Amino acid sequence: MTVPVIAVAPLVHGREDSAARQVAAQIDGACRELGFFVVAGHGVPEQLRGDLDAAAREFFALPDTTKADIAMPRAGLAWRGWFPVGGELTSGRPDLKEGIYFGAEHGPTHQGVQAGRPLHGANLFPEHPPQLRRLVLAYLDALTALGQQVLEGIALGLGLPRGWFADNLTRDPVALFRIFHYPPSEPAADDWGVGEHTDYGLLTLLGQAGNAGLQVRSGDGWVDVPPDPDTFVCNLGDMLERLTGGRYLSTPHRVRNVSGAERLSYPFFLDPSWEATVDRLPIVERPPDDDAAAATRWDHASVHGFTGTYGDYLTEKVAKVFPELASGAGSG
């Protein structure tokens, strides 16, 4: 199996014709079969992507002592900033990568900040390179718009009104962005840059630099996703699997830096609003069996049996990634 490439320009340009419906049908097929597809024709400026890549490489070339000026503990419950290699856990095991966490920029008067919610607050930006702040905020805006457009295609593929997600789940989305740096290495057979996992929200748009490493689990085994700096890899998160009663797949994936050279990636996550409750769509005729769903999941935890808001779900999951930051991190 290969990961399908879908040109989403009709959605980006807001077309309401057969071309848009054809794109929606292609997205629906990819979501049913693999839960992954490659987004081409996205309209995110090449200049922005290239400048961000250059600035990120400048930052990661700095000494750890300098990068630690924006270390994650400095952001408190906002959970923003830099972490060193081995500072993030997947399935309880340290990842062979470092990175910076960003999110929507929240000022002190934002209701989430006022309420003391985790993952709400101001970003931490380094003094060098100074352009990183401007580029990250522009990228967040561009990818949020693209993510909403891809969700329009998903809505059409499900037989819903085009604006269903924006009207019901993503009017005020949790938008998160990471820059990951995998240092040059020759990993052992069981060493992974990021271990097997699924993402938590609705969808992820991943920008990849030139080096391979991403793999997707299919029914036939693990599938390599070739890197292409001009496209984004889109994968579905747990909330879309939950929303569709398993009709769409939140597919496990992993990363291994097999090139021996450094690898950079740029995952952007578009998630439901913090206080949203994600229930099954009316199109789901039969509720899934929680035990059966859990038995086939990588973490043996069903996404269908969870109760609460999306903020509750996300806080519980992220606390396992950075347990040392989780103390005092209530659901908000």
Burial class from Cβ neighbours inside 10 Å (0-12, 13-18, 19+) for residue 166 reads middle
262-316 pLDDT, tens digit each:
889 999 999 999 999 999 898 887 766 665 665 566 565 677 778 889 998 888 8
Distance CA 304, CA 287 (A): 9
- Cβ neighbors of 314 (< 8 A, separation 6 or more) are 119, 174, 200, 201, 271, 274
Which is more confident, 91 or 255? 255
SS3 14: coil
- pLDDT at residue 263, rounded to an integer: 85
Give all strands (DSSP E) within 157-262, no chain letters.
173-182, 194-197, 203-208, 214-218, 221-224, 232-236, 253-255
pLDDT > 90: what percent of the chain?
A: 57
Rg (CA), the chain: 19
Give all strands (DSSP E) within the chain, no chain letters.
5-7, 36-40, 81-83, 89-90, 93-94, 98-103, 173-182, 194-197, 203-208, 214-218, 221-224, 232-236, 253-255, 263-273
Residue of 229, 52, 43 whose CA lies nearest to 133: 52
Distance CA 180, CA 187 (A): 17
Model confidence at 45: pLDDT above 60: yes
**Which range is least confidently modeled, 79-88, 136-145, 215-224?**
215-224
Q: What mean pLDDT is predicted for residues 5-26? A: 95
Distance CA 159, CA 62 (A): 49
pLDDT > 70: what percent of the chain?
A: 84
Helices 18-33 and 132-157 pack at an angle, to 10 degrees, of: 90
Q: Are 214 and 276 in contact (CB under 8 A)?
A: no
Q: Are 179 and 266 in contact (CB under 8 A)?
A: yes
Residue of 291, 314, 208 whose CA lies nearest to 255: 208
Instruction: Please tell me the total number of residues recorded for the chain in this structure.
Output: 332
- pLDDT at residue 124, rounded to an integer: 97
Which is more confident, 207 or 1? 207
Distance CA 137, CA 268 (A): 12
Q: Count of CB atoms within 10 A of residue 104's CB?
A: 20
Distance CA 263, CA 256 (A): 10
Q: Provide DSSP, 272-325.
A: EETT------TT--S---HHHHHHHSTTS--SSS--S-HHHHHHHHHHHHSGGG
Q: Are 44 and 260 in contact (CB under 8 A)?
A: no
69-98 pLDDT, tens digit each:
999 999 988 989 999 987 666 666 667 789
Which is more confident, 293 or 176? 176
Residue of 204, 178, 203 whose CA lies nearest to 52: 178
Q: What is the dihedral of CA 48, 54, 55, 60, to 10 degrees?
A: 140
Distance CA 87, CA 71 (A): 11
Distance CA 20, CA 11 (A): 6
Model confidence at 331: pLDDT above 50: no
Model confidence at 55: pLDDT above 80: yes
Q: Are 191 and 242 in contact (CB under 8 A)?
A: no
Tell me, what DSSP letter sits at residue 53?
H
Q: What is the dihedral of CA 196, 306, 303, 113, to 10 degrees?
A: -60
Q: What mean pLDDT is predicted for residues 53-64? A: 97
